[in-house]
Homo-oligomer: A and B are copies of this chain.
């Protein structure tokens, strides 16, 4: 048995970790930020001791320079410093992009004693980093700060709110450890700008093999189940630093807390989905197997016609059926059952919506969160993914972004 309690302040609660965010002039306006101050554009997270590091990166072949730089370190390397910038993804910048990182980090190492520093970037693709601007942050940082709010805001791009979370995990004997994270992304996966970045820190005494395995599992049940626009960024990064300081560990408790933490942060990204107004769960069951359930569920969360019907709050279930039929998985209109929350919308005996059901469906679709479930009736495969509606605002944000 164990107890998980959320704490305010995210990263600042974890002993031995420090963080800060400053503005060096790359972010010049407060657009989308919801605050009157211009946010930072360079941030760091550091530990006063070496940490085990696990990370999960984008599957995009054109992984950005920071990811390639990370991969140059030997397997199971330890680190105590992450430098993060927004506004520029340092992607499609070739060898020069990696040399820029080496140059920046070399300069950083002349200012503060660190080992194997990591860099992470988000922003526009295809531009070299402004090295001098980024280096100018090193004189502005307070390396002893525990300023998680400023850090969380400095890594934002089109996000409309900062995303931070901390759990205190207490075991039965009263001992405890922490898991804390900051995260950004207003498209799950949004190549040119709203890359998903998530940095988790913990003082749990977690063994490295557990850290690797559980981070991968957590990714699969959180960030990998959501989609704002179906595009996969060059920079997606989920990284965890474990300094082991608490000396406390329980695998089940750590796993539960890590899953809850990543699930909650992935939902925050979806809620902040560019131009989105609602979060919808697409629960596919009765598929031939899990893989086919996943294909159908992902097809639903990515379909333009489904997403615009969600925005229009139109219970046009034909688009749901058609998308499943088009996904190429085994299905049959005789056995298909579609529900919105618990409301039966389609079965072979009830193809057309009667007026009463339609009115009930309208009400469900007006909610900010609801579930569309599709029982295929051909097997036992299940998968749920999460998506959002597609609004004028999405088009506006993405048409206007760079200019």
A5 touches B (CB below 8 Å): no
CA distance A326 to B124 in the complex (A): 16
Q: List B contacts of A59 (CB < 8 A).
A: 326, 328
Contacting B at CB under 8 A, from A88-141, are: 89, 91-94, 96, 124-128
Whether the Cβ atoms of A392 and B401 lie closer than 8 Å is no
Interface string of A163-198 (1 = CB under 8 A from B): 000000000000000000000000101111000000
Say whether B125 contacts A322, CB under 8 Å.
yes
Asked if A390 is an interface residue, CB under 8 A from chain B, the answer is yes
Shortest beta-carbon distance from A44 to chain B in Å? 25
Counting chain B CB atoms within 10 Å of each CB, which of A304, A308, A402 scores highest? Answer: A304
Closest beta carbon of chain B to A3's beta carbon, Å: 40
- Expressed in whole angstroms, the minimum distance between the Cβ of A323 and any Cβ of chain B is 7
Which applies to chain A's interface (DSSP): helix, strand, loop or mixed? Answer: loop
Residue contact A192 to B60, C-beta cutoff 8 Å: no
A92-B400 contact, Cβ under 8 Å, with A126-B352, A128-B351, A390-B395 = no
Query: Knowing A125-B321, A191-B305 touch, does A351 contact B230 (C-beta < 8 A)?
Result: no
**A311 / chain B contacts, CB cutoff of 8 Å:** 395, 399
Cβ proximity bits A222-247 to B, threshold 8 Å, 1 near / 0 not: 00000001111110000000000000
B325 near A60 (CB under 8 angstroms)? Answer: yes
A309 with B352: in contact, given A126-B318, A326-B231 (CB under 8 Å)? no
Residues of A260-314 contacting chain B, CB below 8 A? 303-305, 308-309, 311-312, 314
Q: Give the docked Cα–Cα distance between A319 and B232 (Å).
A: 10
Q: Does A149 contact B (CB under 8 A)?
A: no
Q: Residue A322 contacts which of B60, B96, B334, B351 (CB distance < 8 angstroms)?
A: B60
CB distance from A225 to the nearest CB of B (A): 17
Selected contact of A231 from candidates B89, B96, B192, B304, CB within 8 Å: B304
Closest-CB distance, A227 to chain B (whole angstroms): 10
A94-B333, A399-B308 given as contacts; is B62 within 8 A of A321 (CB)? yes
B126, B309, B317: the one contacting A351 at CB < 8 Å is B126
Complex CA distance for A92 and B60, rounded to whole angstroms: 37
- A322: B residues at CB distance < 8 A: 60, 62, 91, 125, 191-192, 231-234
State whether the Cβ of A391 lies closer than 8 Å to any Cβ in chain B: yes
CA distance A352 to B100 in the complex (A): 15
Q: Is A331 an interface residue (CB 8 A)?
A: yes
In the assembled complex, A220 has its CB within 8 A of some CB on chain B: no
Given A324-B62, A331-B61 in contact, is the A395-B395 Cβ separation under 8 Å? Answer: yes
Is A8 in the interface zone, CB < 8 Å from B? no
Alpha-carbon distance A189/B304, docked complex (angstroms): 11
A125 with B392, Cβ < 8 A, contacts A234-B325, A403-B312 known: no
Any chain B CB within 8 A of the CB of A348? yes
Known: A92-B321, A126-B317. 9 other contacts (CB 8 A): A59-B326, A126-B351, A191-B318, A230-B303, A231-B319, A234-B318, A312-B398, A314-B400, A314-B403
Residues of A participating in the B interface, judged by any CB pair closer than 8 Å: 59-63, 89, 91-94, 96, 124-128, 187, 189-192, 229-234, 303-305, 308-309, 311-312, 314, 316-319, 321-326, 328-334, 346, 348, 351-353, 390-392, 394-396, 398-403
Chain A to chain B contacts (Cβ below 8 Å), 16 pairs: A59-B328, A60-B325, A61-B330, A92-B333, A94-B351, A127-B351, A189-B326, A191-B322, A229-B304, A229-B305, A232-B326, A304-B398, A308-B395, A314-B400, A314-B401, A392-B395
